[in-house]
Amino acid sequence: METIGQQTSRDSKLMRWSMLVLISVLFFATYWFQDVFSPLKELMERDLGIDSGDFGIVVSATTWANCLGMILVGGFILDRWGIRLSAILFGLLVTAGGILTSLGASDLLTEDTSTKILLMAAGRIVFGIGLEITCVIVSRVVVKWFKGHELALAMAINVGFGRLGSFFAVSFGLDIANNQVVPALGLAASLIGAAFILLLVYLVFDKRLDRQVQKQAQETTETDDEKFRLGDFVKLVKNPTFLWIASLCVVYYSAVFPFIGAYGPSVLHHNFGFSMALPDNFGSLPLAEKVGLYLTNGPKITGLIPLGSIMFTPFFGWLIDRRGKASSMMLLGSVLLIFAHLTLTFIRIDALAYVALFCLGIAFSLVPAAMWPSVAKIVPENRLGTAYAGMFTIQNWGLALFYWLPGQILDVTDSDYTWAVSPFLVLGVISIWCALQLKKSNRRHNLGLEKPFAN
């Protein structure tokens, strides 16, 4: 696949993009499993006998260990052990976590509701530890292959794979599983196993690239000068620009992921009268009636948010590669986030609900397309594992709180979804402030976040 004059495999466009597909399937599978619970909430309450608080515990369990610093440990491991050993270790963890969660929901291990909740939460903890570090590893791999080439576009497409997984999980998870909890979770866990196999295939090419790089004596990926040192972490947390982009990361994702992955369909159901399931005779209905039912179905419409980001995120990544304006795009995404949650929380007009969801989808595309490649301009490449791990760690603090908090508010307020999702609006306000501070820091330190990313 290489041509005369090329120095390494990553100089081949075909090889770069082939490697991106191999590793991005893992994003697809893990995001599917992460969001598969979104349309299952009321079904789990009915079939497993849990309440909203129990559901909040299960979905938030993904973040618990990571809030205690497990992602940072994983980032240190990645920077010290390298991509290959780290990928095998944490890929096994996401696979094991998916299996344990699906088994916990079934009657194979227990029929006791409390024990089921415990097992599902344990599975989600194991999955969560592996999930965030595999996300760090995949991001590190994209930088490894695309820095100096189409980095923002590649990262955007990689994110798009994850959004595609979210779309299928939210929109079709129930349909594929025939409205049953255990088959839905079992399918999601199987997808992770298949993606892990593709990850192992990628590692063969990763080793080949390292040999080529070492042979050309241009750079090394696993030599002593790239091992983790505590002093590097201290410098990282003292970097003001990194702290602002990390802060934006936590408030932004805390306002988006819990809505899509847990509460969005129910918000549309209770606040706007959307349905939670399509009728049994849906397949035999006229096309016009099908469209109407689809557009008023909570899980289906919530699933369109990640679907829209699949289309828009690569475009914004392409734009950043060529035009720059990354910090400005993050600010615009934060503004759209406020409008979306303000409308969905307090304005009960169906037409505006669709506009709000569209704006949420655009924000869901703008911020990630700009944020993740920007980190590579702020932090040296051989410390990206620790940097991304730090961002994912504080992101999990926010996710743990905002996956859990709405469920508790629902129990206290007798299922009042206005109060339950109003914290997301507050997060939108904070995200604007963080984005403004990031722009100021970029100007002060001349980091080039407003300049094109591709050489």
Structural domain includes residue 455: no
- Averaged pLDDT, 321-338: 89
227, pLDDT greater than 60: no
Structural domain includes residue 422: yes
213, 220 Cβ separation under 8 angstroms? yes
Alpha helices (runs of H) in 106-150, residue ranges in sequence order: 113-146
Burial of 259-276, coded b for 16+ CB within 10 Å and e otherwise, reads bbbbbbbbbbbbbbebbb
Q: Give the H/E segment covering residue 357.
A: helix 350-378
Cα separations in angstroms, 97 against 106, 122, 126, 397, 439: 15, 8, 5, 20, 39
Q: What is the pLDDT of residue 221?
A: 43
Q: How confident is the model at residue 301 (pLDDT cuts 50, 70, 90)?
A: confident
HSE-CB at 158 with a 13 A cutoff on CA atoms is: 32
Q: How confident is the model at residue 91 (pLDDT cuts 50, 70, 90)?
A: very high
Instruction: Name which of 440, 444, 410 is nearest 328 in CA terms.
Output: 440
Look at 40-54, 166-180, 287-301 and tell me which has the smallest mean pLDDT.
166-180
The CA distance from 126 to 83, in Å, is 20
Alpha helices (runs of H) in 36-69, residue ranges in sequence order: 41-47, 52-60, 64-67
Q: Which residue shows structure tokens 């599978």?
A: 29
- Averaged pLDDT, 444-452: 87
Q: What is the pLDDT of residue 81?
A: 82
220, pLDDT greater than 60: no
Structural domain includes residue 85: yes
Q: What is the pLDDT of residues 149-198, one digit of tens each?
A: 888 889 888 888 887 888 888 777 777 767 788 888 999 999 999 999 99
Identify residue 111 by its one-letter amino acid code.
Answer: E
The listed range with the strongest mean pLDDT (103-112, 139-148, 328-337, 411-420) is 328-337
Structural domain includes residue 235: yes
| Burial class for 284, CB neighbours closer than 10 Å (0-12, 13-18, 19+) | exposed
Q: What is the pLDDT of residue 277?
A: 81
413, pLDDT greater than 90: no
Structural domain includes residue 142: yes
- Averaged pLDDT, 14-38: 90
Q: What is the pLDDT of residue 349?
A: 84
Q: Which residue shows structure tokens 């505590």?
A: 230
389, pLDDT greater than 80: no
Q: What is the pLDDT of residue 230?
A: 56
- Overall domain count for the chain: 1
Q: What is the pLDDT of residue 190?
A: 93
Structural domain includes residue 299: yes
Q: How confident is the model at residue 219 (pLDDT cuts 50, 70, 90)?
A: very low
Q: What is the pLDDT of residue 95?
A: 94
- Averaged pLDDT, 377-398: 78
CATH no. for residue 144? 1.20.1250.20
Structural domain includes residue 295: yes
The residue among 455 and 71 whose pLDDT is bigger is 71
**What is the chain's mean pLDDT, rounded?**
83
Q: How confident is the model at residue 362 (pLDDT cuts 50, 70, 90)?
A: confident
- Averaged pLDDT, 123-130: 90
Q: How confident is the model at residue 1 (pLDDT cuts 50, 70, 90)?
A: very low
349: number of Cβ within 10 Å:
11
HSE-CB at 234 with a 13 A cutoff on CA atoms is: 3
For the chain, percent of residues with pLDDT exceeding 90: 19
Q: Which domain holds residue 105?
A: 20-206+229-445
- Averaged pLDDT, 367-377: 85
424, pLDDT greater than 80: yes
Q: What is the pLDDT of residue 122?
A: 93
The residue among 124 and 383 whose pLDDT is bigger is 124
- Averaged pLDDT, 260-283: 84
The CA distance from 212 to 221, in Å, is 11
When computed from its CA atoms, the radius of gyration of the chain, rounded to whole angstroms, is 21
Structural domain includes residue 94: yes
Residue 115 DSSP SS3: helix
218, pLDDT greater than 60: no
For the chain, percent of residues with pLDDT exceeding 70: 93
- Ramachandran angles phi, psi of 413, nearest 5°: -100, 15
